[in-house]
Amino acid sequence: MDFTFKNAHIYNNGAFKIKDFTAKLNDTDPSAGSLSAFNNICVLPAFCDVHVHFREPGFFYKETIRTGSLSAARGGYTDVCTMPNLKPVPDSVDNIKEQLGIIEKTAEIRVHPYASITKGEMGQELVDFDALSPYCIAFSDDGRGVQSEAMMRSAMIKAKELGKIIAAHCEDNSLLNGGYIHKGEYAEKHGHKGISSESEWRQIERDLKLAKETGCKYHVCHISTAESVELIRKAKAEGVDVTCETGPHYLVLSDKDLREDGRFKMNPPLRSERDRLALIEGIKDGTIDMIATDHAPHSLEEKSKGLEKSLMGVVGLETAFPVLYTCLVKEEIISLEKLVELMSVNPRKRFGIEKTEDVCVFALDSEYTVNPDEFMTMGRSTPFAGMGVYGKNLITVCGGKTVWQIK
């Protein structure tokens, strides 16, 4: 059945035009009548997230490719890139083919797997880049920083030969301060030791020199510190082929928002207000190229052990757009056009993911409270639970098929 949204704001090549938009609905609810109740309809190019964890194969009790892809569809995404901390790690052709087989059978959207940089993500031996290159979107040891400078240099040389991206989780193990949790005035009130900012930016500094030396396409995952922003800004000015991402939680929250709850535990941790404001400036001036969720579901038990002992990671695919629209666009920090660039245009361009006719249809005036019980993901842990937001996704279309419509 078809439904026409009258006078919708439709994004096209960097600008919005007002015109009618017709969507093909599935033969289930909602009825045309329920859709007609929504106002201020905005049709956006479907989003692309270059950093998610779907946990299958190996950890399907946290998330499956099917549930992760349904979560992405509900959030307005039709392309996601899955990180390699799986079991087995996609460090060989056989292992990555196992993951691709599950994707082919169960994914509701397009899922692009990473291969690891080193075997088992152990940092000791490079994978066979030549063999894996046709099957992966890029190479990453996400969750672990590559500690050896020589190992990272060799990886970048191989990636350069193949035209592939090295996407780095930057964390210097020698600077972890003996503990995980956040470091700073507010964190210390919780009595937790922390991952210092330097553990992130020091390894970025090393890798930027290697990227300049090798000419590799280098991408920095989930930056969280002011120093990281400045290092990448300077490297871009020097012509280094570098891009970077940050996450919604780093742009909206800081360590003053911490609570004694596992839903506030992620890696990198929430930083200071100074760092948050530096990230805002980074997205404004183009230093930060894209926003990725680092969607990382865990079981209820794993996230119910408090701030110190819960596993690291929060879910984010279903909250990213409404949180960013509410906190950045409605507050006139950035434009809606800029947010589309960060969530859709730039990630596809950098990672060579084909531009499509996929769309998501949001009712921008629709106000509601984030309720994890309504999520499609198996994960429920989000720092945005209970937050009032604007922007409800009504429909997501992937490859001409409606993969999400509001119930």
How large is the greatest C-alpha to C-alpha distance in the chain, in angstroms? 62
Q: Give dist(CA 111, CA 398) in Å, integer.
A: 12
Q: What are the pLDDT tens digits along the chain (407 aa)? A: 889 999 999 999 999 999 999 998 887 655 656 898 899 999 999 999 999 999 999 999 999 999 999 999 999 999 999 999 999 999 999 999 999 999 999 999 999 999 999 999 999 999 999 999 999 999 999 999 999 999 999 999 999 999 999 999 999 988 875 444 444 555 555 545 567 899 999 999 999 999 999 999 999 999 999 999 999 999 999 999 999 999 999 999 999 999 999 999 999 999 999 999 999 999 999 999 999 999 999 999 999 999 989 999 999 999 999 999 999 999 999 999 999 999 999 999 999 999 999 999 999 999 999 999 999 999 999 999 999 999 999 999 999 999 999 98
* Residue 340: inside a domain: yes
Who contacts 104 (Cβ-Cβ below 8 Å, separation ≥6)?
none
Inside any domain, residue 393? no
Residue 294: active-site member? yes
- Read off the tokens for 189: 């009130």
Q: Are the CB atoms for 223 and 246 separated by under 8 Å?
A: yes
Q: Which residues pair with 42 in a beta bridge?
A: 9, 362
CATH code at position 322? 3.20.20.140
How many of the other CB atoms lie within 10 Å of CB of 220? 28
Give the other-Cβ count within 10 Å of 61's Cβ.
14
Question: What is residue 187's predicted lDDT score, i.e. its pLDDT?
Answer: 53
**Pairing verdict, β 15-24 and 41-45:** unpaired
Asked whether the beta carbons of 118 and 132 are under 8 A apart, the reply is no
Could you tell me if residue 251 is inside a domain? yes
Helix (H/G/I), strand (E/B), else coil: 11: strand
- At residue 291, the pLDDT reads 99
Residue 335 domain-assigned? yes
Residue 16 within a domain = no
Q: Where are the alpha helices (DSSP H) in 238-305?
A: 248-252, 273-285
Show the tokens assigned to 281. Answer: 């400036």
Active-site residue (options: 141, 275, 294, 358): 294
How much is the CA Rg of the chain, to the nearest whole Å?
20
Domain coverage including residue 63? 46-356
**Which residues, including other chains, have CB under 8 Å from residue 223's CB and lie 6 or more apart?**
200, 204, 229, 232, 244, 245, 246, 250, 268, 279, 282, 288
Number of domains the chain contains: 1
Q: Cα angle vertex 347, ends 141, 13, to 5°?
A: 175
Would residue 379 count as lying in a domain?
no
| pTM reported for the whole predicted model | 0.95
> In this structure, is residue 406 part of a structural domain?
no
Nearest-angstrom CA–CA distance, 65 and 60: 8
C-alpha to C-alpha distance for 190 and 291, rounded to whole angstroms: 29
Q: 267 to each of 63, 197, 231, 400, how far by Cα in Å? A: 19, 11, 20, 36
DSSP secondary-structure letter at 374? G
- The encoded tokens of residue 371 equal 């309720």
Listing DSSP states for 171-240 in one string gives: --GGGSTTS-S--SHHHHHTT-----HHHHHHHHHHHHHHHHHH--EEEE-S---HHHHHHHHHHHHTT-
In a domain, residue 10? The reply is no
